């Protein structure tokens, strides 16, 4: 199993291209199940989760082709993939594949909408909480589906004539359930109104793609989304929006190492709350024509209290990275996690660097320390793993991060991007 070796102490300086967003690319890829025409997605990141979803979609009958890298094109840039699903050949998504990635469960919406039946394994993914599928099941049932759970599979059947538009109020905000119900509703008869819907940029990106395919959707980006069902969708061409989590991650790495980096192909609107927190911590952030320019002051980081919340609040997917930054702050900060009940597994690993962190329920109290020291650490989930890399970049000495397959799920060419900015980082195959 590969490890990543980091020797800390080098401020990051240079340019980092931001890839397409994993959290947008996955539902966009799944949307290819809704049409027999070709859906072309540009700026698709090269990630383990994307490769796994390609396999899952292939089992359902989706053919795909990938455009090769053009001559002289930066290898860190993402790809263009063409998806065509003339016929759905299998409406079952097996446990062996779905258990590896929670987002693969979302195929249940398009399969049910297009074929009237779906059998999908209960999902897996990072071990950061229970994340039940009740909202998916209740929402699809509101659209008329009959649903049973049998031997670890969700079996869904649409009424004769297909799903029926309805009003559904999410009892809590769920990005995945919003994606799934929005896709299912595009082919339902009548009007669907989703209330207390997720407002994340990735939801807006999916809605824009679906509209390009002929869907009638209003209100994406607000808490109420209205979908007027259509009989069929066509192909389209769509570019995946920039990855706001990757943007925030590198911005925090620059702030922690005292670097000077331009993040290309991104924008501040995608993560305004995180940018606000970074500025409060002392980072200088300005908008450029190509993205964001970040200047950090690694020896003068101010403590900042944050609470994770659905968009436009502080993203839970940046909580671990921000905690890494706060371990070097001059003072005491507090981080409260409200989205997932088990997302502090990185605390014990950060403590191995010499970080001082105390937990009380869903709140972590971080007392900043002047110096971190490199250590062997173990990644526990996707976002926690990159927080350990950030800490290693700022720590004295050598750090090794195990279980880096988590990183490969969400960060495209991490070592290459950091190396180009002066980091001493390498992958060690074992």
Q: Where are the alpha helices (DSSP H) in 236-379?
A: 244-257, 272-280, 319-326, 346-351
- Which of these is catalytic: 85, 126, 209, 421? 126
Give the integer Cα–Cα distance in Å for 148 and 180.
Answer: 18
- Does 23 show up as a binding residue in the annotation? yes
- Does 134 show up as a binding residue in the annotation? yes
Tell me if 101 sits within 8 A of 124, measured CB to CB. Answer: yes
- Does 301 show up as a binding residue in the annotation? no
- Does 417 show up as a binding residue in the annotation? no
Give the integer Cα–Cα distance in Å for 241 and 44.
Answer: 9
Three-state DSSP state, 405:
helix
Tell me if 335 sits within 8 A of 326, measured CB to CB. Answer: yes
Quote the radius of gyration of the chain (alpha carbons, Å): 22
- Does 175 show up as a binding residue in the annotation? yes
State which H helix or E strand residue 54 sits in: helix 48-60
- Does 174 show up as a binding residue in the annotation? yes
Which tokens in the block code for residue 361?
């329920």
CA distances from 175 to 170, 224, 275 (A): 10, 13, 21
Cis before 312 (ω within 30): yes
- Does 173 show up as a binding residue in the annotation? yes
Tell me if 244 sits within 8 A of 266, measured CB to CB. Answer: yes
Give the integer Cα–Cα distance in Å for 162 and 143.
Answer: 9
- Does 225 show up as a binding residue in the annotation? no
Which tokens in the block code for residue 244?
């706001």
Q: Cα–Cα–Cα angle for 282, 288, 293, nearest 5°?
A: 35
Tell me if 270 sits within 8 A of 276, measured CB to CB. Answer: no
- Does 22 show up as a binding residue in the annotation? yes
- Does 107 show up as a binding residue in the annotation? no
Give the integer Cα–Cα distance in Å for 166 and 141.
Answer: 10
Q: Cα–Cα–Cα angle for 296, 240, 277, nearest 5°?
A: 25
Indicate if 209 belongs to the active site: no
Tell me if 322 sits within 8 A of 277, measured CB to CB. Answer: yes
- Does 102 show up as a binding residue in the annotation? yes
Binding-site members are: 22-23, 102, 131-135, 172-175, 317, 339
Residues annotated within a binding site for phosphoenolpyruvate: 22-23
Instruction: Cite the annotated binding site for UDP-N-acetyl-alpha-D-glucosamine by residue number.
Output: 102, 131-135, 172-175, 317, 339
Q: Which residues are catalytic?
A: 126
């Amino acid at each position: 199993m590969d490890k990543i070796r980091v020797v800390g102490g080098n401020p990051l300086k240079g340019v980092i291209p931001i890839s397409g967003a994993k959290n947008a690319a996955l539902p966009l890829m799944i949307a290819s199940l809704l049409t027999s025409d070709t859906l072309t997605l540009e700026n698709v990141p090269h990630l383990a989760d994307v490769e796994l979803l390609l396999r899952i979609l292939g089992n359902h009958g989706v053919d795909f082709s990938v455009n090769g890298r053009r001559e002289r094109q930066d290898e860190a840039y993402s790809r263009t993939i063409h998806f065509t699903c003339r016929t759905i050949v299998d409406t079952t998504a097996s446990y062996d594949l779905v258990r590896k990635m929670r987002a693969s469960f979302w195929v249940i919406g398009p399969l049910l909408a297009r074929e009237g039946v779906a059998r999908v394994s209960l999902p897996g993914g990072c071990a950061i909480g229970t994340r039940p599928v009740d909202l998916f099941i209740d929402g699809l049932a509101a659209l008329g589906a009959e649903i049973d759970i049998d031997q670890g599979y969700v079996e869904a059947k649409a009424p004769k004539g297909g799903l029926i538009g309805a009003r559904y109020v999410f009892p809590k905000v769920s990005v995945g359930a919003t994606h799934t119900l929005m896709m299912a509703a595009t082919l339902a008869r009548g009007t669907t109104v989703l209330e207390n819907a997720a407002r994340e940029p990735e939801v807006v990106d999916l809605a824009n793609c679906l509209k390009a395919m002929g869907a009638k959707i209003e209100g994406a980006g607000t808490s109420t989304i209205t979908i007027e069902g259509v009989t069929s969708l066509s192909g389209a061409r769509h570019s995946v929006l920039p990855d706001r989590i990757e943007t925030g991650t590198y911005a925090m790495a620059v702030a922690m190492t005292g670097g000077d980096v331009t993040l290309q192909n991104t924008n501040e609107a995608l993560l305004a709350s995180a940018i606000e927190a970074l500025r409060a911590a002392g980072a200088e952030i300005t908008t450029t024509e190509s993205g964001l320019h970040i200047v950090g002051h690694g020896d003068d980081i101010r403590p900042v209290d944050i609470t994770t919340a659905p968009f436009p609040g502080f993203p839970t997917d940046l909580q671990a990275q921000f905690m890494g930054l706060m371990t070097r702050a001059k003072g005491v900060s507090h981080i409260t996690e409200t989205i997932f009940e088990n997302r502090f597994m990185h605390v014990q690993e950060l403590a191995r660097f010499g970080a001082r962190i105390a937990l009380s329920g869903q709140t972590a109290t971080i007392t900043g320390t002047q110096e971190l020291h490199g250590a062997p650490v173990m990644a526990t989930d996707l976002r926690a793993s990159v927080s350990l890399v950030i800490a290693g970049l700022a720590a004295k000495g050598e750090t090794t991060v195990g279980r880096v397959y988590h990183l490969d799920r969400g960060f495209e060419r991490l070592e290459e991007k950091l190396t180009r900015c002066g980091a001493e980082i390498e992958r060690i195959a074992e």
